[in-house]
Amino acid sequence: MSVATAGAPASEAVAAGRARVRCPRVLVVGYGNPARGDDGLGPALAERLGALALPGVTVEIDYQLSIEHAALAAEHDVVVFVDATSRAEAPFTFAPVAASAEAPFSTHAATPAQVVRLAATCFGATPRAWVLAIRAHRLGDFHEGLTREAGAGLEAALAHVTGFIRTVRGVSDDVRREAPHTLRR
């Protein structure tokens, strides 16, 4: 609720209140190896999402999660980790991530839960986090490109995460441009 200050019209107080409201900053980390077929689903989704240039959204593409992602996660309010998996229900699963109680991790690879824990432990940040696991149909051998089934799952997952981001940020299709979009590699 806005309160007008003495001498200022109520409409100015409402406008000033809106100016102070900040939409959540969103980080999407798509990870996997595009040279291993459907394992490239995370980077493929991140590429497609990055092309949408949604305001206030940072898109990161990498081969795997590492401890360095904790610093990036700490700069955001919401983090979505996107990866391929052969264990997901088709076409994808979307689930919240809790910070891992496990301390052990490798300096070369980390899980989403470990990244969230490190963001809290090292930077005092507690972003809300989710994993978007897209169903992979062909993993293990070296080949570029997604299977037809994985491509269909990618489309469904992209629609879901785009809607989720817009909902979380409170942004409609007439996008507000208060924060820049970033695509990182």
pLDDT of 22: 72
Residue-by-residue DSSP string for 13-76:
HHHHHHHH--PPPEEEEEES-TTBGGGGHHHHHHHHHHHHT-TTEEEEEESS--THHHHHHHT-
135 in a structural domain: yes
Containing 128, the helix (H) or strand (E) segment is strand 128-135
177 in a structural domain: no
Per the structure, the complete domain to which residue 102 belongs is given by 25-171
From first to last of its 185 residues, the chain has per-residue pLDDT tens of 333 333 444 444 444 444 445 789 999 999 999 999 999 999 999 999 999 999 999 999 999 999 899 999 999 999 999 999 998 888 999 999 987 776 555 555 789 999 999 999 999 999 999 999 999 988 877 878 898 999 999 999 999 999 999 999 986 544 434 444 455 55
65 in a structural domain: yes
49 in a structural domain: yes
Q: How many domains does the chain have?
A: 1
47 in a structural domain: yes
Residues 6+ apart with CB under 8 A from 9: none
5 in a structural domain: no
Residue with tokens 């990870």: 31
What is the model's pTM? 0.80
pLDDT of 107: 58
77 in a structural domain: yes
- The single-letter code of the amino acid at 11 is S
116 in a structural domain: yes
CATH number of the structural domain spanning residue 46: 3.40.50.1450
pLDDT of 184: 55
pLDDT of 21: 55
